[in-house]
Amino acid sequence: MPDELLLRLRNFQEDYFPRHQQRFQDLVAQGQHPKTLFIGCSDSRLVPYLLTGAAPGDLFIVRNVGAFVPPYDQSHGLHGTMAAIEFAVLSLKVEQIIVCGHSHCGAIRTAYEGAPDEAVALKAWLRLADEALLPVQPTREALHRTEQRAVVLQLERLMDYPMVRRAVEAGHLTLHGWHYVIENGEVHVFDAERGAFVPASESTHSGTGPYPPYIENDGQILVD
**Which residues make up the interface to Zn ion (CB under 5 A)?**
41, 43, 105, 107
Peptide bond into 210 cis (omega under 30): yes
Q: Which is nearer to Zn ion, 157 or 179 (CB)?
A: 179
Do β-strands 186-191 and 174-181 pair in parallel, antiparallel, or remain unpaired?
antiparallel
- Give the type of residue at 192: A
Cβ-contact 29, 56 below 8 angstroms = no
Where in the chain does DSSP place strands (E)? 36-41, 59-64, 96-102, 174-181, 186-191, 196-199
In this structure, the chain runs to a length of 224
Closest separation between CB of residue 129 and Zn ion, Å? 10
- Asked if 149 contacts 188 with a C-beta cutoff of 8 angstroms, the reply is no
Smallest gap from residue 39 Cβ to Zn ion (A): 12
When computed from its CA atoms, the radius of gyration of the chain, rounded to whole angstroms, is 19
Our measurement of the distance from residue 25's CA atom to the centroid of its chain's CA atoms, rounded to an integer in Å, reads 28
Contact criterion met (CB below 8 Å) for 154 and 76: no
